[in-house]
């Protein structure tokens, strides 16, 4: 029996619903009610999108294509689950993850393996109900599911998108301040050196620092002659005039 | 005479005040740069692996410049109060040298900020996180640093990847070479962990169900501290240099007016 249900990737925004080797599917809850007994097995058929039309349902469980034959048969069946697991009401988890089992896929295993998908696809899936005597019901094929292809990190360009102007402003202001300072120092030192070579006396406007104290020694003025001095030449001291001695008697 | 004496006194007072401010700013700059160099967020290995850790060099210069500014400001105060020409000249020359170093630190820190783009860290994370083969010892050291830092970042900041968990799906990586896409769509540390350090729902985390994995990107947790670091060194240094410019001009004017 062909059921009208179309399997699909869940529409919710989950970053891991489609990866490079796995994808998630909505659980087909309540889809098989009335078409499958509780003991029947529901399989998931995964096929390359271009090989889905050529897929023929296997007549019995022994003819189920295993995971290892995907490269040659271009399809496999996996996720064998009892039909009771999809009965209403919806159990948890609400999604099926295809390709999530990395431990299986050994040589010659008969158990269904839900191994990672080897290539990006695209793939198409459908659910198939297998009873004791062969396939009993199936859903429609899904839309093609394309897995992610990752880019190489060497394509990432770490250069900044646009150059900020603030560092340029800072650099130019600082450079001009520094140049102005250097020029001022050179100018001041140069002016001092020039000044001390050309001029001996301090320039106008310089204030005298208080460490200097001039001791003013006035030059000596000529002292007035003491009374009674004769006309002796100055500097030789002053002699008291000798009274003329009594004139010698005649 | 009294008028110009007053003017000189005012200039002396202003210069002493200017030097006090420079001294305090020098101490603050040293403290700020020591804080940055101590790397409280543990992000230095990421910078080291970019092979361009100039903002750390700028911070190191800032430590020594701050200390030099403090010492020189004391010298300046002594020189201005004593009005000693030689001391003033020594002060001016040493201050100019310190000025030049601080200019270099400031410009380096300002220009480096542009360099820290999300793509830079994304490329580094993809190429180095959990890289198994190393080219040489230096490469091995940088790889281990990046891996440990990212593990710690993802756990502490509850984030995954640079823009988000899809970074690990959009690009191949060194991580992808050793961890299969089916088991590890993104690193384990992107999952929300319980108290014992294991994911609370591994399947939910692998699918990307909200509540079981970290959906935020880590770029804010990386660029926030680094930008603070770069801008802190750059703008504070710029402010100190502008102030020092005026103090130095005043000191040079004072020096030219002092008699021997």
| Band of pLDDT at residue B241, cut at 50, 70 and 90 | very high
Dihedral pair phi/psi, residue A161, rounded to 5°: -70, -50
To test the contact with chain B by mutation, choose from A148, A167, A176, A199 the residue with the greatest count of B C-beta atoms within 10 A, namely A167
User: Over B69-96, what HEC string results?
Assistant: HHHHHHHHHHHHHHCCHHHHHHHHHHHH
CB contact under 8 A, B166 and A15: yes
* Closest among A125, A133, A132 to A55, alpha carbons compared: A125
**pLDDT tens-digit profile, chain A (250 residues):** 888 889 889 888 888 889 999 999 988 888 888 777 777 888 888 888 888 888 888 888 888 888 888 888 888 888 878 777 777 766 555 788 888 888 876 655 567 888 888 888 789 998 888 888 888 888 999 999 999 888 888 888 888 877 778 888 888 998 899 899 889 888 888 888 888 888 755 544 445 455 556 676 776 666 665 555 555 455 555 555 455 545 455 4
Domains of chain A: 2-149 (2.60.40.10)
Does B165 score more than 60 pLDDT?
yes
Residue A102: which of B111, B180, B249 has the nearest Cβ? B180
Task: Please give the residue of chain B at the shortest CA–CA distance from A92.
Answer: B204
In chain B, domain spans: 1-115+225-259, 117-217
- What length is written for chain B? 260
What pLDDT does residue A250 have?
42
The A residues from 66 to 125 touching B (CB cutoff 8 Å) are: 93, 95, 97, 99-102, 115-116
Measured in whole angstroms, the distance separating CA B70 from the mean position of its chain's CA atoms is 21
Three-class secondary structure assignment of B138-200: HHHHHHHHHHHHHHHHHHHHCCCCCCCCCHHHHECCHHHHHCCCCCCCCCHHHECECCCCCEC
Are B206 and A167 in contact (CB < 8 Å)? Answer: no
**Do the Cβ atoms of B171 and A151 come closer than 8 Å?**
yes
pLDDT > 70 fraction of chain B, expressed in percent and rounded: 98
pLDDT at position B1 is 47
Q: Which residues of A touch B160 (CB under 8 A)?
A: none
pLDDT of residue A41: 86
Q: How many CB atoms lie within 10 A of CB A103?
A: 9
User: How many inter-chain contacts (A to B, CB under 8 Å) are there?
Assistant: 148
Residue B114: band (very low, low, confident or very high) from pLDDT cuts 50, 70, 90: confident
**Dihedral, CA of residue A166, residue A169, residue A175 and residue A181, to nearest 10:** -110
Task: Taking residues B169-187, report their average pLDDT.
Answer: 90
More confident residue, A110 or B172: B172
Q: Does the distance separating the beta carbons of A170 and B107 come in below 8 Å?
A: yes
* For residue B32, pLDDT beyond 90: yes
| Confidence (pLDDT) at A214 | 66
Interface ipTM: 0.75
pLDDT at A246: 53
Which range among A203-212, B82-91, B182-191, B220-229 shows the weakest confidence by mean pLDDT?
A: A203-212
A246 vs B141: which has the higher pLDDT? B141
Helices assigned H by DSSP within A52-165: 70-73
**Nearest chain B CA: its distance from A29 CA (Å):** 19
Yes or no, beta carbons of A153 and B126 under 8 Å apart: yes
A28 C-beta neighbours (distance < 10 Å), count: 20
Q: What percent of chain B has pLDDT over 90?
A: 60
List of residues 6+ apart from A95 with CB closer than 8 A: A10, A14, A17, A24, A25, A26, A27, B207
From chain B, pick out residues whose CB is under 8 angstroms from the CB of A188. Answer: 252, 255-256
Q: Would the CB atoms of A159 and B117 count as touching at under 8 Å?
A: yes
Full-prediction pTM beyond 0.80?
Answer: no
Q: What's the pLDDT tens digit per position in B70-92?
A: 999 999 999 999 988 899 999 99
Test A209 with B99 for CB contact under 8 angstroms: no
């Amino acid at each position: 029996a062909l059921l009208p249900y179309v399997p699909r990737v869940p529409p919710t925004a989950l970053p891991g619903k489609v990866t490079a080797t796995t994808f998630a599917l909505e659980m087909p809850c309540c889809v098989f009610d009335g078409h499958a007994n509780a003991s029947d097995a529901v399989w998931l058929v995964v096929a390359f999108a271009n090989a889905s039309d050529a897929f023929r349902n296997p007549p019995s469980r022994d003819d189920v294509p295993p995971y290892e034959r995907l490269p040659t048969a271009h399809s496999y069946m996996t996720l064998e689950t009892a039909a009771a697991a999809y009965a209403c009401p919806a159990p948890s988890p609400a999604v099926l993850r295809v390709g999530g089992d990395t431990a299986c896929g050994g040589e010659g295993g008969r158990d269904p393996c839900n191994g990672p998908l080897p290539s990006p696809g695209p793939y198409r899936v459908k659910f198939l109900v297998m009873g004791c005597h062969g396939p009993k019901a199936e859903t429609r094929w899904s839309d093609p599911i394309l897995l992610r292809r990752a880019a190489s990190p060497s394509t990432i360009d770490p250069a900044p998108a646009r150059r900020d102007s603030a560092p340029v402003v800072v650099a130019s202001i600082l450079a001009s301040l520094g140049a102005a300072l250097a020029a001022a120092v050179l100018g001041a030192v140069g002016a001092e050196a020039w000044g001390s070579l050309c001029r001996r006396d301090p320039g106008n406007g310089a204030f005298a620092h208080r460490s200097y104290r001039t001791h003013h020694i006035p030059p000596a003025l000529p002292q007035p002659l003491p009374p009674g001095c004769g006309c002796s030449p100055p500097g030789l001291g002053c002699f008291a005039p000798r009274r003329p001695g009594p004139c010698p008697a005649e | 005479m009294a008028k110009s004496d007053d003017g000189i006194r005012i200039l002396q007072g202003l210069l002493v005040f200017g030097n006090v401010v420079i001294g305090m700013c020098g101490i603050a700059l040293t403290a700020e740069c020591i804080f940055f160099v101590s790397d409280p967020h543990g992000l230095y290995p990421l910078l080291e692996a970019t092979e361009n850790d100039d903002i750390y060099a700028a911070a190191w210069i800032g430590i020594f410049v701050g200390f030099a500014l403090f010492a020189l400001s004391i010298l300046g105060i002594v020189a201005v109060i004593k009005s000693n020409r030689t001391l003033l000249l020594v002060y001016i020359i040493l201050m100019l040298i310190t000025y030049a170093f601080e200019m270099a630190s400031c410009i380096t820190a300002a220009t480096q900020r542009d360099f820290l783009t999300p793509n830079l860290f994304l490329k580094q994370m993809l190429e180095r996180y959990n890289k198994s083969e190393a080219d040489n010892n230096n490469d091995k050291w940088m790889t281990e640093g990046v891996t440990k830092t990212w593990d710690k970042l993802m756990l502490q900041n509850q984030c995954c990847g640079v823009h988000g968990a899809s970074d690990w799906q959009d690009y191949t990586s060194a991580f992808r070479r050793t961890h299969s896409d089916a088991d590890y769509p993104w690193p384990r540390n992107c999952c929300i962990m319980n108290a014992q350090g294991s994911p609370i729902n591994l399947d939910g985390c692998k699918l990307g169900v909200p509540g079981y994995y970290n959906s935020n990107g880590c770029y804010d947790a990386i660029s926030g501290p680094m930008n603070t670091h770069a801008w802190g060194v750059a703008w504070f240094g710029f402010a100190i240099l502008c102030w020092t410019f005026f103090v130095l001009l005043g000191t040079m004017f004072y020096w030219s007016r002092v008699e021997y």
